[in-house]
Amino acid sequence: MVQILSLIHSGDGSLSSMPYIPADVTNLKAKYHRESRLADIEDTIAYFEEKAKADTDFFYRIILDDEDRVRNMYWVDGAARRAYKHFRDCISFDVTYLTNMYKMPCAPFIGINNHNQSLQFGCGLIRNKDTDGYTWLFKTFLECMGGLAPMNIITDQDFSMRAGIEEVFPLAVHKHYRWHIIKKAEETLGPFFAGLPELHKAFELCVDHSLMVEEFERSWTAMIETYQVQDNETLTSLWEKRLYWVPAYFMQCFFPFL
């Protein structure tokens, strides 16, 4: 590639003297890019196969599309698979990381052991964050873990992800990261609360100090009526999503990542 480009830029430097047109260079770059991506997946599979030889419980699945590009991928080592049988109480699943050159969301499954240490129960890469992608990943995870679904799972707000969890892990208690929800709500609630500090205090007391569902719902209703904020769209949205983020609704469940 470098040699060809150097030939293009030799001579008097004018476009008319070049034996190639810009489209030729673009096509050549695309060709090398396709070959590089194919080599990447070949190297990855070779690496996984080597890992499987050294670790008989190593597990991986890779799905390619018609152009031999990775569509979905999941892998986990044997130690993590064995640990999962004892520490599947709660799984944190977050796909907000995009640190790879292919811009594919990285999807680690994180658990916690009896020493309060984080454990990674494998990791996935998915091209599309849609229901099909999540369903494939969750089914692959379930296959890998011998059909043992997580008891509790916490994720960000993603309707496609929620649909996949409901299909594959129907008995798991599914909650959302509270900080994701509050961070988004603060974009509008921040300025609103600034003008009503007593409402802000009532909001925090209601959410943070309600131990029972009835207590939370009673406090929330009183807050809304006291400050006459029935028309606030953000507060209405938070109320509609309450089952997924308000602590009072899952006091009996194990969610150490909160």
Quick check: 36 pLDDT over 90? no
Quick check: 33 pLDDT over 90? no
Can you list the positions of beta strands (E) in the chain? Answer: 59-64, 70-76, 90-93, 106-112, 118-126, 152-155, 173-176
> What pLDDT is recorded for position 101?
60
> What pLDDT is recorded for position 158?
87
Quick check: 154 pLDDT over 70? yes
Mean pLDDT of 163-180: 94
Mean pLDDT of 30-51: 71
> What pLDDT is recorded for position 180?
86
> What pLDDT is recorded for position 204?
94
Contact 174, 155 (CB under 8 A): yes
Q: Report CA 234 to chain centroid distance, whole Å.
A: 24
Q: Which residues pair with 175 in a beta bridge?
A: 154
DSSP string, 82-144: HHHTT--SEEEE---B--STT-PPEEEEEEE-TTS-EEEEEEEEES--SHHHHHHHHHHHHHH
Which CATH number is 57-176's, of 3.30.420, 1.20.140, 3.10.450, 3.40.50?
Answer: 3.30.420
Model confidence at 18, in pLDDT bands (50, 70, 90)? low
Torsions phi, psi for 214 (to 5 deg): -60, -40
Contact 121, 73 (CB under 8 A): no
For the chain, what are the domain ranges? 2-40, 57-176, 180-250
Quick check: 99 pLDDT over 90? no
> What pLDDT is recorded for position 4?
43
> What pLDDT is recorded for position 9?
46
> What pLDDT is recorded for position 167?
97
Quick check: 8 pLDDT over 80? no
Contact 8, 23 (CB under 8 A): no
Q: What is the pLDDT of residues 103-122, one digit of tens each?
A: 788 899 999 999 989 999 99
Q: What is the pLDDT of residues 134-153, one digit of tens each?
A: 999 999 999 999 999 999 99
Give the span between the Cα atoms of 116 and 119, in whole angstroms: 9
